[in-house]
Structure 1
Amino acid sequence: MPTSELTDAATSVLTPDEFTARLRALAPRYWDRHPFHLRLHEGRLSRHELRLWAANRWYYQRAIPRKDAAILANCPDVEVRRAWRERIVWHDGSGPGEGGAENWLRLAEAVGLTREEVLDERHVLPGTRFAVDAYVTFARTRPWVEAVASGLTEMFSRGLMARRLVDMRRHYPWIAEAGFTYFTTRLQVIADEGRSTVDIVVRNCRTREQQEAAVAALAFKCDVLRAVLDAVDYYS
């Protein structure tokens, strides 16, 4: 094939199906296959390990609405902003004692942590802090559609979350049912969010360069999530 044809093939815009397939092909990089998650689902974590996981995952949970606020600040599309702001409300709640972040705190309490020690972040590991802060910075500094694309881990998370709910109830029966509220409520919205996010990214990535940047953004997010588990796994 002549050089000019190779160049054209490399820069031609992917069809929506091709683009979506490229994004979905990153599924093996998601954190569901991390050794720590495998042990969690097999019931092989100690109470200490579960507490360390919950405290470090809290640092990620508390960063999500800040990431979403950065997307809102950078996005010029009013329709996207209207849809996206609901994510902040879901995590932060409409008032005290509400929202996904509050439900994660209840899980942390159910595994034996006090609310105080979670909120003061005494158990947050350097690797977790570095990775999560890098994710928020990415959302603030990169084009808004790349930041949205980074959140497409939603495509992979529903199956993992449903399985986690089953496995944790089975293997860790000492965790009070109220501790699982985050998962039960999240499962109700995550499928719709994942589909809408794919639609936003596909619709707004109009060049091959934008499409490749979106794929790279999702790969980066997968690396962020795995870095959090790397830190927890090392110190647990």
Structure 2
Amino acid sequence: MNQITALSVAPDLELDSPEALEAQLRHIGATRYHNLHPFHGLLHGGKLNKGQVQAWALNRYFYQSTIPLKDAVVISRFRDRATRIEWRHRISDHDGDIGSEGGIERWLKLTTGLGLDPDYVESTEGILPATRFAVEAYVHFVRDRTPLEAIASSLTELFAPNLHQERIAGMLEHYDFISPEVMTYFSRRLDQATRDADFALDYVKTHARTPEERRLVCNALIFKTNVLWVQLDALHHAYVGGHIPPGAFVPEAT
């Protein structure tokens, strides 16, 4: 595989077919997905204390709660009714529906189970500045770039199920303050992420018809891996390195 910079695939990369595109997308995931970040190694290996796990769950809530907003923006980019219909279940997956629980509620079960006040979590007042900047950049990306790139940026879901399985197993094994009941967000996403990734991958392989369009798809995925990676950089710097910025959540143990 050709070299990938922090922003893009190499300009001379040959992307002359849908199969070449898929191969490059999977290479990006294998080398840049945030399962490779050292913070995840600490989290899943039982190397964090409860306060550090709280900080992770609190900050990740902002990402989770923004996904329906992002997906509403994606829907607004399409005149094609079939694409809108296909995409809109992603909103209810996270928001839930009347009488049904969604991913945001499941994430609040996790933060509440970790001892965080739900009102504080939902206020997002304690999250790291880098978390807010990265997540808002994701919303801006799907609003400002092409609809093809907007869909392509969701392709990190190709790699999410393996991470969820690793997280469920590792956190249940290593933390006595984690129970299966608070991990339902991840178990539910095993099926949802696979379904969503299958649609998005088929969409970009079908609609990215030129090498340049395929390059845009690859670069959109690189952007999204950066959105995820930088959030863990910030968590590691603040809660492992001990450089918590003013006003951010401070665990009791600290």
What is the TM-score of this pair, normalised by structure 2? 0.86
Q: Do the aligned partners of residues 44 and 85 (structure 1) sit closer, same or farther apart at CA in structure 2, a change above 3 Å counting?
A: same
SS at match of 2:116: coil
Correspondence for 1:226 among 217, 229, 238: 229
Deviation at 1:77, TM superposition (A): 2.1
Structure 1 equivalent of residue 200 of structure 2: 197
Correspondence for 1:147 among 139, 145, 150: 150
Q: Do the aligned partners of residues 51 and 14 (structure 1) sit closer, same or farther apart at CA in structure 2, a change above 3 Å counting?
A: same
1:174 pairs with 2:177: yes
Aligned partners of 1:191 and 1:115: how far apart in 2?
29
Correspondence for 1:235 among 233, 238, 251: 238
1:26 pairs with 2:28: yes
Map Cα deviations across residues 111-162 of structure 1 (whole Å, 9 max, x no partner).
1111011011122100111111001100111111101101100111111111
Structure 1 equivalent of residue 59 of structure 2: 56
1:107 pairs with 2:110: yes
The aligned amino acid for 2:68 is P
Q: Do the aligned partners of residues 140 and 96 (structure 1) sit closer, same or farther apart at CA in structure 2, a change above 3 Å counting?
A: farther
Aligned partners of 1:48 and 1:56: how far apart in 2?
12
Aligned partners of 1:13 and 1:127: how far apart in 2?
33
Aligned partners of 1:102 and 1:155: how far apart in 2?
23
The aligned amino acid for 1:94 is D
The aligned amino acid for 1:46 is N
Structure 2 equivalent of residue 4 of structure 1: none
Structure 2 equivalent of residue 67 of structure 1: 70
Structure 1 or 2: more helix by fraction: 1
Aligned partners of 2:32 and 2:15: how far apart in 1?
24
The question of whether the paired residues in 2 share the 8 Å contact of 1:13 and 1:206 is answered with: no
Aligned partners of 1:232 and 1:96: how far apart in 2?
35
The aligned amino acid for 1:123 is G
Unmatched tracts of structure 1, length 5 or more: 1-8
Aligned partners of 1:234 and 1:10: how far apart in 2?
36
The question of whether the paired residues in 2 share the 8 Å contact of 1:68 and 1:85 is answered with: yes
1:160-171 matches, within 5 Å, as: 160-171=163-174
The question of whether the paired residues in 1 share the 8 Å contact of 2:164 and 2:186 is answered with: yes
Q: How many pairs are equivalent?
A: 228
Aligned partners of 1:78 and 1:105: how far apart in 2?
33
Identity %, equivalent residues: 39
Aligned partners of 1:71 and 1:122: how far apart in 2?
26
- Quote the RMSD (CA, aligned, Å): 1.6
SS at match of 1:215: helix
Q: Do the aligned partners of residues 37 and 12 (structure 1) sit closer, same or farther apart at CA in structure 2, a change above 3 Å counting?
A: closer
Deviation at 1:95, TM superposition (A): 2.7
Unmatched tracts of structure 2, length 5 or more: 1-10, 240-254
The question of whether the paired residues in 1 share the 8 Å contact of 2:94 and 2:103 is answered with: yes
Deviation at 1:188, TM superposition (A): 2.2
Deviation at 1:193, TM superposition (A): 1.5
Deviation at 1:177, TM superposition (A): 2.4
Structure 1 equivalent of residue 122 of structure 2: 119
1:86 pairs with 2:125: no
